[in-house]
Amino acid sequence: MTEKRKIAVLGTGLMGAPMARNLLKAGHTVVVWNRSADKAEALAGNGAQVAASPADAVSGADVIVTMLADGFATGPLIEDSVVQAAVSPGAVWVDMSSAKPEHAREQGAVLAAIGIAHLDAPVSGGTKGAEAGTLAIMVGGTEEAFAKVRDVLEAMGRPVHVGPSGTGQLSKLANQTIVAVTIGAVAEAMLLVQQGGADPAAVRAALKGGFADSTILQQHGERMTEGNFEPGGLTKFQIKDLDNTLSEAGRLGLSLPSTQDVRDRFVHLMEKMDGGELDHSALYLELKARNGMMS
Amino acid sequence: MTEKRKIAVLGTGLMGAPMARNLLKAGHTVVVWNRSADKAEALAGNGAQVAASPADAVSGADVIVTMLADGFATGPLIEDSVVQAAVSPGAVWVDMSSAKPEHAREQGAVLAAIGIAHLDAPVSGGTKGAEAGTLAIMVGGTEEAFAKVRDVLEAMGRPVHVGPSGTGQLSKLANQTIVAVTIGAVAEAMLLVQQGGADPAAVRAALKGGFADSTILQQHGERMTEGNFEPGGLTKFQIKDLDNTLSEAGRLGLSLPSTQDVRDRFVHLMEKMDGGELDHSALYLELKARNGMMS
């Protein structure tokens, strides 16, 4: 049984809007705010209350959900003294934006200093997952805060508590790193079989269900050999994620050779070829160029 | 409906024996031969006829299946003039061993010269897949030869025709390359989240079903953070596969940077740490050593 709560949703863009609708469907009271007001007002028809300011939205809320571009966008809201004064004691602030782990830790500390719990809870699954309520939700913060909002998060997807503050964002970076390096692996496999005279689509079908299989092999592999690089996931965002991964690895004193290598190759792709605006499966083009196959 | 055939199975080891049993279950007449005769004789109880020599086994067979260590083991059988004389015109020789693509092409040419069709049809799925009859079977050779044996192969798994002679083996190498590079990706992700204070098992659970998910993440990732490197797939065989991949890539004039890098790291692991006898997920140990974490 889900206890009905009053939930503020700040940031009702492509992801935040369907997430707010799923909270409404679950029976919660939802107050929305968005920097461009029209995107918040569009949710009134779904039963949301529209707030005139972030402080109005968070006032009296049991749970505050932020879904913004990154930690640079979330920070000023969390640090705003008017917003801080409006937050109820006992509220939990759940930042579902994708951000640097250091931003999560800093913002968690800012809220902890005034007695407000904070969770970093970035998601994976895209707009489809947001609409279907099937997002993977990686949650960092205290067990206690997680227990208070778990049922709320379940209206939007599948929340898993992974560790202390910042580790939700760290898990998202780990996710993005695996995606990037696997794209590199699939690119080499696809180029090899194609140049060797095999039918890449038949090879993907043959490998289905085995140890080499993945969504990246089936979806990105098809994009590569079909030459379809419409985004999807932009290479410039892939680079941002990889830079954040390497920055956090550096803080931990870790060298991650495959991550570093694929990051450098994505940068080469962006600077010399795609301007950052193609799908990240376009790493295939970088591999072809490296092999003298892009005239 | 499967037309019943007379099938010779040469090589009835860990993989060949359950594959022969599945051919028997499908109603075919199966004649087995193995270098160590006891492994062939063990199949008599399942209804197999036991041949005294490879030539006896292939005599009168509609389909010849070889399941040996590699192309160096298969070559002498295919080139043996007594064996060649015993093969029926119209028979199809299906080499299901994992071998170099160049061996497949050479052996296919030897048989073509005497009017015998040859398919290279290596498998993926291990002894479990062989027993369950669910092997992924990657088939190179002519469409015509594939059509003649497709239903026979279906008794052992899921055959997919991927292209001309050698491309079955090439697809297997592509499979192994993706596995190896993905192991490298998962190792970096696991080390990052573990050093960053997250619970790696919770992270794997959180990532399940998303773009980063794979059997490698779930199974090999667990081996890494649990420190369980009992094989499984040996690092020395992983290196053999990667060397074969790079050799074939070289023949095609291709540079495969991620494959080359992970191959060099597996060699470092074998030479300095595991002697080639640990599971290939032990690449995690190489990453830890590189980061000064193996005292």
| Residue B74 falls inside a structural domain | yes
Q: What is the pLDDT of residue B295?
A: 64
- Going by DSSP bridges, is the β-strand pair B6-10/B63-66 parallel, antiparallel, or unpaired? parallel
Q: Are B156 and B209 part of one and the same domain?
A: no
| Closest by Cα among A25, A107, A20, A1 to A61 | A20
Residues 45-84 of A with CB under 8 A from B: none
Q: What is the pLDDT of residue A1?
A: 54
Q: What is the ipTM for the molecules in this complex?
A: 0.96
Low-confidence ranges of chain B (pLDDT < 70): 1, 295
| Residue B125 falls inside a structural domain | yes
Q: Are A28 and A146 part of one and the same domain?
A: yes
- Smallest Cβ–Cβ distance between B136 and the set A136, A174, A207 belongs to A207
Structure tokens at A163: 């560790």
Structure tokens at B154: 């279906």
Q: Measured between CB atoms, does B289 come within 8 Å of chain A?
A: no
pLDDT tens, residue by residue, A64-81: 999 999 999 999 999 999
CATH number at residue A226: 1.10.1040.10
pLDDT tens, residue by residue, A90-122: 999 999 999 999 999 999 999 999 999 999 999
Q: Measured between CB atoms, does B8 come within 8 Å of chain A?
A: no
Q: Which residues contact B97 (CB under 8 A, 6 or more apart)?
A: B11, B66, B67, B68, B69, B70, B71, B73, B74, B122
Q: What is the pLDDT of residue B61?
A: 98
Is the pLDDT at A295 greater than 90? The verdict is no
| Residue A295 falls inside a structural domain | no
CATH number at residue B73: 3.40.50.720
State the number of CA atoms in the 13 A half-sphere of A63 facing the CB: 25
Structure tokens at B280: 């290939």
Q: Are A147 and A190 part of one and the same domain?
A: no
| Residue A55 falls inside a structural domain | yes
Could you tell me the sign of the dihedral formed by the alpha carbons of B216, B221, B226, B231, in that order? Answer: positive
- Amino acid occupying residue B260: Q
Q: Which residue do the tokens 């960092």 mark?
A: A140
All residues of chain B having their beta carbon less than 8 Å from the beta carbon of residue A195 are 252, 254
A278: confidence class by pLDDT, cuts 50, 70, 90: very high
Inter-chain CB proximity A125 and B210 less than 8 Å = yes
Q: Are B48 and B187 part of one and the same domain?
A: no
Least reliable range by pLDDT among A1-5, A140-144, B104-108: A1-5
Q: Are A158 and A208 part of one and the same domain?
A: no
Overall average pLDDT of the A190-196 stretch: 98
Q: What is the pLDDT of residue A274?
A: 85
| Domain count across chain A | 2
- Output the DSSP codes for B65-114: EE--SSHHHHHHHHH-HHHHHHBPTT-EEEE-S---HHHHHHHHHHHHHT
Q: What is the pLDDT of residue B94?
A: 98
Q: What is the pLDDT of residue B41?
A: 97
pLDDT tens, residue by residue, A20-33: 999 999 999 999 99
A172 is catalytic: yes
Mutate to test the interface with A, among B158, B220, B254, B259 (most CBs of A within 10 A): B254
Q: What is the pLDDT of residue A294?
A: 84
Distance from CA of B45 to the nearest CA of A (A): 31
**Computed over its alpha carbons, how large is the radius of gyration of chain A?**
21
Distance from CA of B249 to the nearest CA of A (A): 7
Q: b/e string for B64-97 if b means 16 or more Cβ within 10 A?
A: bbbbbeebebbbebbeeeebbebbeeebbbbbbb
Q: Measured between CB atoms, does A121 come within 8 Å of chain B?
A: no
H or E stretch at A63: strand A63-66
Overall average pLDDT of the A225-247 stretch: 95
Q: Are A181 and A233 part of one and the same domain?
A: yes
pLDDT tens, residue by residue, B178-229: 999 999 999 999 999 999 999 999 999 999 999 999 999 999 999 999 999 9
| Residue A30 falls inside a structural domain | yes
Which structural domain, as residue segments, surrounds residue B250? Answer: 170-290
| Closest by Cα among A94, A254, A101, A256 to A168 | A101
Spatial separation of the C-alpha atoms in residues A285 and A273, rounded to whole Å? 8
| Residue B1 falls inside a structural domain | no
| SS3 (DSSP) at B253 | coil
Please state, rounded to an integer, the average pLDDT across all residues of chain A: 96
Q: What is the pLDDT of residue A232?
A: 87
